[in-house]
Amino acid sequence: MPADGSPGSRHTDETSGRLDEVVAGVLKQLRLPYLLDRLPARPVTAAFATVNGFLSIAIMSFAALVTQQPFVFPSLGPTAFLFFFSPLVPAASPRNTVYGHLIGAAVGWGCLLAFGLQGDGPSTAVGVSWERVLAAGLSLGLTSGLMVLVNAPHPPAGATTLIISLGVLHEFEHLVVLMIAVALLTLQAIGINRLAGVQYPLWRPRTP
């Protein structure tokens, strides 16, 4: 079977959780499975990733518009990519996602308090101090260590903790909004992947 993007080709990279199978499942549900037979697989898969990425963040943006709360965070982008490009890897499971972002948010906030930075603005606006350097380094280190300790690695959580320890988010209610956004994005991942016929876990990563 060709693997160069010609009609009929499929991406079978195990680390991707077989994104092509997700696409094929969605097209089957939409009664459009013939698209993968008539068109090159790679552009079809790329179009799927584009639409899914747009919808994922558009939903968050709409929630932000309606509630006037910051539902869109940079770390949600890589989380969305994991959900739909590598849905079967442990890092993309709901458990790892929720635990990872929760750890990152809690540690980032704790470092702000520990170094007395909760009242300061973002480092991009007020500059970088030694306290900020220590808060950022400690937050990322502790987040990484705790995720390993509880066996819930989720790489985008590293961005979450830095967003907070660098002062981009420095109000406690924003942390609550962040976790609500993570939950909404996770529910979307469950819905779309299950619709596609992918055995995406409802909570814990599936055992290989």
Q: What gap in Å lies between CA 85 and CA 96, rounded to an integer? A: 16
How high is the pLDDT of residue 12? 40
From the centroid of its chain, how far is CA 114? 27
Q: What gap in Å lies between CA 170 and CA 181, rounded to an integer? A: 17
Task: Name the residue among 170, 175, 176 with its Cα closest to residue 118.
Answer: 170
How high is the pLDDT of residue 1? 41
Which of helix, strand or coil describes residue 40? strand
Sequential pLDDT tens for the chain (208 residues) = 444 444 444 444 443 445 677 777 777 776 667 776 777 778 877 887 888 888 888 888 888 888 888 788 899 999 999 998 888 899 999 999 999 999 999 999 999 999 999 888 888 777 889 999 999 999 999 999 999 999 999 999 999 999 999 999 888 999 999 999 999 999 999 998 888 778 899 999 987 6
How high is the pLDDT of residue 41? 74
- Sign for the CA dihedral angle at 75, 76, 77, 82 comes to positive
Find tokens 């199978």 and name the residue. Answer: 21
Which of helix, strand or coil describes residue 7? strand
Which of helix, strand or coil describes residue 9? coil
96, 154 Cβ separation under 8 angstroms = yes
